[in-house]
Structure 1
Amino acid sequence: MTSAVVPGADAAASAPVPTGPPRSVGTRRSASWAWLGLTPFAAYVVLFLALPTVLALGSGFFTESGAFTWSNVTALGDPVVLNTFANSAWVSLLTAVVGAVAGALVCYALLGMNPEGGVRQSVDAAAGVLAQFGGVMLAFAFIATIGIQGVVTLLLKDSFGVDIFADGNWIYEVPGLILPYIYFQVPLMVITFMPALAALKPQWAEANATLGGTRGSFWVRIGIPVLAPSFLASLLLLFANAFSSYATAAALASQGSQIVPLQIRAALTSETVLGRENLAGALALGMIVVVGVVMALYSLIQRRAARWQA
């Protein structure tokens, strides 16, 4: 007696069995239509971010008549331009460090409060508003407070005989940018660093106490090493934020070009620049390189910090 052999039986037996329901045509179509939701955002990025950046960078390599030139880029080595980059760097670094330390202390003070409580929610809301408070409004607030005829200036002069402008109009120069920048750097630090601080697990503190550790040993051996990447990432973000700020500096320092954004403004509006009409593009190139390096480091550090926030 012979058994019948069914063609393709072995191949059917070895074929993988689907483990889930087959995707219908409607599901595939809805997935493809879902990408259309990104079209407005993609158009915004291309028109208002990518295209202006490409045009700004490209203009740095061409003259006013459209001929290719290196003169704009080589201008980045001029002492005046290097001085503006140095001013931007030290102001950004100083305000970033002060803002990061002060913001971290605020986050530490909020750590023991109820996340749903009124104080915590008020501080979170205020940080979100003040981090975006800048430009002409912030400049006017500081001029009205500590300007030459500001409220605090006149109070100190009339009541205590202290003239904070005895050595010059410092508020309208590079040192005058420090306080306004710190004003929005601290709340920005609260926004960026608070999630990392809140991610510290209570089990780590309990394990430290069980092994005989103290509060100080917890922060030295666990808390600070875990939070260091997040703190450094926030510090770099604050540096990039201050380095690229323009509106507040433009409103305070209406004369001169002490920092890079103001130097770009001068290059765009000056009528006395000869042979370097597109110097603003070269300055933008140098600025984008600095901010790009900082944000690349921020991304690397933030990726390491994300391991502890999972």
Structure 2
Amino acid sequence: MGQGHRLTFDMSATVRHPAEPAPDPAATAPGGRSRPGRARLSRSQLGHARSLVGVVPFVAFVTVFLAIPTIVVAVGAFTGDDGRPTLSNLSALANGYIIDAFTRSILLSATTAVIGAILGALLAYALVTAKEGGLLRRIVTAAAGVLAQFGGVTLAFAFLATIGWSGFVTVFLREHLGIDLYSHGVWLFDLPGLVLVYTYFQVPLMVIVFLPALDGIRPQWREATESLGGSTWQYWRRVAGPLLAPAFLGSTLLLFANAFSAYATAAALVSQGSPIVSLQIRSALTSEVVLGQQNLGKAMALGMVVVVAVVMALYALLQRRTAKWLG
């Protein structure tokens, strides 16, 4: 009686219910001890490896077109003609024409960044007040995404064909209205012309980068301000303004870096002279240079890298502060 009872107990302990899943042999150790986390860990590691494969092209692109050129510029800036380390290239940056080029580049970048930030912020605010998901907003957003990348030789040719010395707008105004756009000089090929051309792609870029911050402003905040007796000016001064200030300043810094590092548009528009530092680098690399200063172009490029790095570091700090309330 006792043995039959024991036999019944043993069989019930080993019989598996039909609804239960079969045990995984890979998760069972020798000797009957189970290892439930091993198969799961292997699948997790496999998924992590697959995700890393998708990052390989991006890492390769950054390495080839950003990391390696930066290293070459940094090493060349501290290398003399004989291959030995030297500081003569950096000391040559104190020359007057190089300082003037950096000054004009900073002035050009700051001017276009401020103008582009103000006009782009106003346009982005107009899009926010429009119907969400409407046709107008989608068209303007798509156009901003295209025009923000519309630069280089194509943009320079567009301005030359439009308001250049023989552009159709210039000819029309001169022949039919008696207005000469170049009565005070050929300004399009100098710093004022670069300001106008750079602003063309700075405004849509501001729309793209500042629009998410405006979308993060909740209508309930304005309603709460009005319910407490606050005016529109008080709402923008005490609520929306402080919240949008980091995003606005960060976007302005991004526009500054974008204009400071631009080259192709200015190179296609300015054929003579080197008013900004990027064109000075072109002149140092393509023309005859003074003996002992072959790496002067790399030293100027290193200076540009330092300026852009400082600006982008400030931009990252402001974006981190914006993400606290935008998220």
Fold shared by both chains (TM-score > 0.5):
yes
- The match for 1:67 is 84
Whether 1:239 and 2:280 are equivalent positions in the alignment is no
In structure 2, which of residues 286, 294, 300 is the aligned counterpart of residue 269 of structure 1? 286
- Give the letter for the 2:210 counterpart: F
- The match for 1:90 is 107
Q: After the TM superposition, which residues 90-109 of structure 1 pair with which residues of structure 2 at under 5 Å, given as runs?
A: 90-109=107-126
Q: After the TM superposition, which residues 230-309 of structure 1 pair with which residues of structure 2 at under 5 Å, given as runs?
A: 230-309=247-326
- Give the letter for the 1:234 counterpart: S
In structure 2, which of residues 128, 141, 145 is the aligned counterpart of residue 111 of structure 1? 128
- The match for 1:58 is 75
1:131 deviates by 0.2
Whether 1:213 and 2:233 are equivalent positions in the alignment is no
Q: Deviations over 1:152-178 (max 9, x none)?
A: 211222223222212221111122101
Q: State how far apart, in whole Å, the 1-side matches of 2:99 and 2:315 are.
A: 24
Q: State how far apart, in whole Å, the 2-side matches of 1:35 and 1:123 are.
A: 36
- Give the letter for the 2:111 counterpart: L
Contact 1:84 1:257 in 2 (8 A): yes
* RMSD of aligned alpha carbons: 1.3
In structure 1, runs of 5+ residues without a counterpart are 1-20
Whether 1:192 and 2:206 are equivalent positions in the alignment is no
- The match for 2:28 is none
In structure 2, runs of 5+ residues without a counterpart are 1-35
- The match for 2:52 is 35
Contact 1:115 1:121 in 2 (8 A): no
Task: Give the secondary structure class of the aligned counterpart of 2:131.
Answer: coil
Q: State how far apart, in whole Å, the 2-side matches of 1:155 and 1:258 are.
A: 30
Q: State how far apart, in whole Å, the 1-side matches of 2:251 and 2:234 are.
A: 24
Question: Which 10-residue stretch deviates more, 152-161 or 216-225?
Answer: 152-161
Task: Give the secondary structure class of the aligned counterpart of 2:151.
Answer: coil
Q: State how far apart, in whole Å, the 2-side matches of 1:96 and 1:277 are.
A: 33
Task: Give the secondary structure class of the aligned counterpart of 1:129.
Answer: helix
Task: Give the secondary structure class of the aligned counterpart of 2:99.
Answer: helix
Q: State how far apart, in whole Å, the 1-side matches of 2:157 and 2:126 are.
A: 31
Contact 1:60 1:72 in 2 (8 A): yes
- Give the letter for the 1:30 counterpart: G
Q: What is the aligned-residue identity percentage?
A: 54
Q: After the TM superposition, which residues 121-270 of structure 1 pair with which residues of structure 2 at under 5 Å, given as runs?
A: 121-270=138-287
1:203 deviates by 1.5
1:277 deviates by 0.5
**Structure of higher RCO (CA pairs closer than 8 Å, 6+ residues apart):** 1
Task: Give the secondary structure class of the aligned counterpart of 1:109.
Answer: helix
Q: State how far apart, in whole Å, the 1-side matches of 2:145 and 2:277 are.
A: 27
1:307 deviates by 1.3
Q: State how far apart, in whole Å, the 2-side matches of 1:45 and 1:134 are.
A: 22
Task: Give the secondary structure class of the aligned counterpart of 2:235.
Answer: helix
1:104 deviates by 0.6
Question: Which 10-residue stretch deviates more, 49-58 or 162-171?
Answer: 162-171
Q: Deviations over 1:220-269 (max 9, x none)?
A: 11111110000000000000000000000000001111101101100100
1:36 deviates by 2.6
Q: State how far apart, in whole Å, the 2-side matches of 1:32 and 1:142 are.
A: 49
- Give the letter for the 1:286 counterpart: G
Q: State how far apart, in whole Å, the 2-side matches of 1:42 and 1:155 are.
A: 51
- Give the letter for the 1:31 counterpart: H
- Give the letter for the 1:115 counterpart: E
Contact 1:267 1:273 in 2 (8 A): no
Q: State how far apart, in whole Å, the 1-side matches of 2:180 and 2:224 are.
A: 55
Contact 1:106 1:190 in 2 (8 A): yes
Aligned length: 290
Q: Deviations over 1:27-70 (max 9, x none)?
A: 23332343232222212211221011100121111123312222
1:195 deviates by 0.6
